[in-house]
């Protein structure tokens, strides 16, 4: 809640263990959600967030006091934390929920993060997180957290520059129609866009070294949060199947069909 003294930065990176990007998503037979018995990995936007935190430290060196990653998830989420530690985070917090528990909602996650931030004795100056998770595409948690904390926020960041002495962050955002440059007072919530950076590969030796880094385990009860969902998903269905293309007999027919579809071949 209180930013850390003078010029040292404490960075918090919330991450999510989400369905892997390469998985072909299938709706479950009950039509209540997607098949979750598939490969999971760190949400790509969160990888970008971890990478950005590490790069901020590479640029500012000793001005960054700590990079802490946090996840709210089942026991398997510990692997995701280990990958983040292997990429360069110093320590991790695992807010463990039971395997059978429903996926936390963005507001629940934001409240949990708020409770966690308020527990940090050294304070938090910068929170960097993915703009959205690729499995639910909610894109709400960062904004909700900023609202709950009353902190400045810069979402869809494509460039981040933190100035610990001035206690500001200069951030470029990707918006419709171009780029927007913001100067935010610390503490700040930043959500990452795809074009911010390219995350490093967590090599096997680094993964092994990461096993020695501290991981604090907490429960939501300890944080005083109730993650009971406020939304009920009524039904999940696949999108309508694409209608197949038709075959044409010759060029004339092709031209006729294109004209029908409104394609004239002239520049609009």
**Which residues form the interface with other proteins (CB under 8 A)?**
21-22, 44, 134, 174-179, 194-195, 198, 201, 203-205
- Name the token pair of 66: 């700590």
Q: What is the DSSP letter of 34?
A: B
CA separation (Å) from 212 to 13, 73, 91, 205?
19, 21, 10, 12
Nearer to other proteins, 32 or 203 (CB): 203
Pairing verdict, β 178-185 and 91-96 = unpaired
Residue 131 backbone dihedrals phi, psi, to 5 degrees: -70, -30
What's the full length of the chain, in residues? 268
Nearer to other proteins, 179 or 248 (CB): 179
CB of 207 to other proteins, least distance (A): 9
CB of 233 to other proteins, least distance (A): 22
Residue 230 parent element (H or E)? none
Give SS3 for 241.
coil
Q: Is the peptide bond before 187 cis (omega within 30 degrees of 0)?
A: yes
Nearer to other proteins, 102 or 139 (CB): 139
Q: What is the DSSP letter of 221?
A: T
Nearer to other proteins, 196 or 227 (CB): 196
CB of 208 to other proteins, least distance (A): 10
Nearer to other proteins, 53 or 86 (CB): 86
CB of 57 to other proteins, least distance (A): 22
CB of 172 to other proteins, least distance (A): 11
- Tokens 């990452």 locate to 192
- Name the token pair of 48: 């970008």
By CB neighbour count within 10 A (0-12 exposed, 13-18 middle, 19+ buried), where does 142 fall?
buried
Give SS3 for 194.
helix
Nearer to other proteins, 72 or 86 (CB): 86
Q: Do the beta carbons of residue 69 and residue 10 sit within 8 Å?
A: no
- Name the token pair of 201: 């590969």
CB of 251 to other proteins, least distance (A): 31
Nearer to other proteins, 8 or 194 (CB): 194
CB of 86 to other proteins, least distance (A): 12
């Amino acid at each position: 809640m209180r930013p850390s003294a003078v010029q040292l930065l404490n960075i918090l990176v919330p991450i999510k263990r989400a369905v892997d990007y390469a998985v072909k998503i299938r709706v479950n037979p009950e039509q209540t959600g997607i098949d979750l018995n598939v490969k999971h990995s760190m949400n790509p936007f969160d990888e970008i967030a971890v990478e950005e935190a590490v790069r901020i430290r590479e640029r500012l060196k000793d001005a960054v006091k700590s990079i802490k990653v946090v996840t709210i998830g089942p026991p398997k989420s510990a692997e995701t934390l280990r990958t983040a530690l292997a990429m360069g985070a110093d320590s991790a917090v695992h807010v463990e929920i039971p395997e059978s528990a429903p996926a936390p909602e963005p507001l629940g996650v934001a409240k949990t993060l708020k409770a966690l931030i308020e527990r940090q004795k050294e304070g938090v100056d910068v929170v960097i997180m993915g703009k959205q998770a690729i499995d639910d595409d909610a894109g709400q948690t960062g904004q909700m957290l900023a609202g709950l904390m009353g902190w400045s926020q810069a979402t869809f960041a494509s460039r981040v520059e933190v100035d610990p002495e001035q206690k500001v962050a200069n951030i470029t955002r990707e918006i419709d129609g171009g780029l927007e440059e913001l100067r935010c007072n610390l503490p700040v919530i930043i959500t990452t866009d795809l074009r911010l950076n390219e995350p490093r590969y967590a090599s096997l030796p680094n993964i092994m070294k990461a096993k020695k880094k501290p991981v604090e385990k907490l429960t939501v009860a300890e944080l005083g949060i109730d993650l009971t969902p406020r939304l009920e998903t009524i039904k999940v269905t696949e999108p309508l199947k694409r209608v197949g293309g038709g075959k044409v007999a010759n060029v004339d027919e092709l031209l006729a069909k294109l004209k029908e579809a409104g394609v004239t071949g002239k520049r609009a």
